Amino acid sequence: MFKNYYEIRKWLENFIPQTWTRKELGLERISYILKLLGNPQNKFKSIHIAGTSGKGSTAFYIARLLQGSSQKTVKIGLHISPHLVDIRERMQVFGSRNSEFGSRMGSLIPMGEFIKLVNGIRSVVEKIKKEKPDLTPSYFEILVAGTFLYFAQEKVDWAVVEVGLGGRLDATNVLNPQLTVITNVGLDHTDVLGKTQEKIAFEKAGIIKRVKELESQRVKERIGGVPVITGATGKALAIIQKVAKEKNAPLITINTQSSEKALKFVVFSNSNLPIDIFRSTDYSLAFSNKLLALAVVNVLGISPYNKHYSSSEAKRNREVPIKIDSRQARIINHVFNLTFPGRFEEIQKGVILDGAHNADKVRFLIEFVRNSKLETRNSKQIQKSKIQNPKSIILVIAFKKGKDWKKMIDLLVKNLPVNQVIATKFHAVTDMGKHQAVDPKEIARYIKSKWKVKVESQNNSHGAVFEAVNCQLSTVNCLILITGSLYLVGEVRTIWELPQF
């Protein structure tokens, strides 16, 4: 029996594949362990979220909006991956006795319950390993199964679930959701999902579901597929449209590239108030995430936002009007001013953490830094951003193997006033194995060969941050930007916030 967090972590890491390829994807293993656990994924309503960028923060905002939207106490489950510091970040419940509206980390499963939960799952996993070794679940699949079991035990009203990788063959795709979301499609994980946007879009569109029939009281109404909301564009959108049509799923497209068009024509019937809400995040990934989150809450018809949005309405009308009163505006403003840890997070004045790990996310990060002179608006007052349009930037970067890290570096150095780079590595164990960080010396060599900036490398990520802070003290209006990987961000974030293991 496990007695503490560290024993659980060590056991779980034994189930990380030694080599990680496309063959590791599939639903057979997760389906089998869930069957032995009583199929907990069928015991709650869910919202399933895929996408190349922003799916984690979109899930976070949806969960908090759902928690704050109801006049009565509701329980909202949130599954995200990977975790930054604590495995329990993957299985959060908002609105339970363990959390309060507005708190950030109080939603984690209590440690005693976590140990009890994993002890229960361990016996099932070990039985599978002995009797059906080919169906032995992976690290990620065990945690997905554990999360669904916890949500079922907590009797959550809604579970907001982020896809791990892709969608079609991801372990989370055993869900039968009430709504699916595809935030966007870009080139990431191309070695597993495909080399083109079309192939990647097909994998992500795999979460779109067909519903055969819906039983409502004594009437069985035949309906189409599960509604899907997307911010994808271009060739990727064409693939999503094709799959949605095949599944007879209502498709709602959100223009996340233009705040004016999105606010005026797609989501809101009253554009003045929403423009105020989004003032500080226009043209950033955060804008897209918040916009998608509001659209999701509206489509679900969760009180008090709007009336039920039926599938027949969705088929004939892609516009989703929302009417917002003063109470709802306060909730929205409050939720949108919550910080999702590790994403555009100013952990202390002049130090930004952002887990951008592909080119699209880096572009959004660049826009965030460039537009940081915008006012930050919250429910009480308007405050000037702390960043104050920096004259120089110190980059602390690390990357996971397999990422297009050279392109990310080029984008950052070319488009921001970077005058110093400290290349480092993370030592965290990833869902795909150990020792997954790019060698910092290799990163430094590339930068020196192409860019005229000061470069150094450090194997210790905490040491890299301390070096950056020391350099910042002697530089006027200097910003430290820590980015390149969520694993790096999670590792260094412990400098400021220690986990409660």
pLDDT of 218 reads 41
pLDDT at 386: 52
Instruction: Kindly state the tokens that stand for 314.
Output: 């969705």
**What span, in angstroms and rounded, lies between the C-alpha atoms of 278 and 374?**
11
| 142-to-135, 172, 219, 376 alpha-carbon distances in Å | 12, 11, 38, 40
pLDDT higher than threshold 70 for residue 17 = yes
Contact 315, 224 (CB under 8 A): yes
3-state SS class at 436: coil
What is the model's pLDDT at position 138?
A: 93
- pLDDT band per the 50, 70, 90 thresholds, residue 225: confident
Closest CA to 491 of 499, 500, 479, 501: 499
47 in Cβ contact with 151 (< 8 Å): no
DSSP 416: S
Res 310: pLDDT: 42
Please state, rounded to an integer, the average pLDDT across all residues of the chain. 81
At residue 213, the pLDDT reads: 46
pLDDT at residue 136 greater than cutoff 90:
yes
pLDDT in tens, 63-111: 988 887 665 678 999 999 999 999 999 999 987 544 444 444 458 899 9
Split at pLDDT 50, 70, 90, the class of 301 is: low
Helix (H) / strand (E) element for 203: namely helix 197-204
Residue 326: pLDDT over 70: no
The phi, psi pair for 56, rounded to 5°, reads -65, -50
pLDDT, position 361: 87
Which of the residue ranges 119-123, 157-161, 261-265, 493-497 would you say has the lowest mean pLDDT?
261-265
**pLDDT confidence of residue 381:** 40
Q: Write down the pTM of the prediction.
A: 0.84
Give the pLDDT confidence of 212-223 residue by residue, as tens digits.
Answer: 544 444 444 445
Name the band, by pLDDT with cuts 50, 70 and 90, for residue 312. Answer: very low
Question: How many CA atoms lie less than 13 Å away from 359 in the CB half-sphere?
Answer: 12
Q: In CATH terms, is domain 345-493 a member of 3.90.190.20? A: yes
CA 203 vs CA 51, 53, 226: distances in Å: 10, 15, 17
- Of 64-78, 237-251, 465-479, which gets the smallest average pLDDT? 64-78
On the 0-12 / 13-18 / 19+ scale of CB atoms within 10 A, 476 is: exposed
- CA max distance for the chain: 73
End-to-end CA distance of the chain: 17
- 67-81, 204-218, 423-437 — which is least confidently predicted? 204-218
Sign of CA dihedral 314, 317, 318, 320: negative
Distance between alpha carbon 34 and the CA centroid of its chain, in Å?
23
- pLDDT one-digit tens code per residue, 61-71: 899 888 876 65
Residue 345: strand, helix, or coil: strand
Spatial CA neighbour of 203 closest among 214, 220, 190, 216? 190
- Distance, in Å, from the CA atom of 362 to the CA atom of 176, rounded to the nearest integer, reads 33
- Contact (Cβ atoms closer than 8 angstroms) between residue 307 and residue 301: yes
**Ramachandran angles phi, psi of 402, nearest 5°:** 95, -10
With a cut of 80, say whether residue 278 has pLDDT above it.
no
270, two tokens = 């009253």
- Secondary structure of residue 364 in the 3-state scheme: helix
What does the alpha-carbon distance between residue 360 and residue 37 come to, in Å, rounded to a whole number? 38
Residue 85 near residue 342, CB atoms below 8 Å:
no
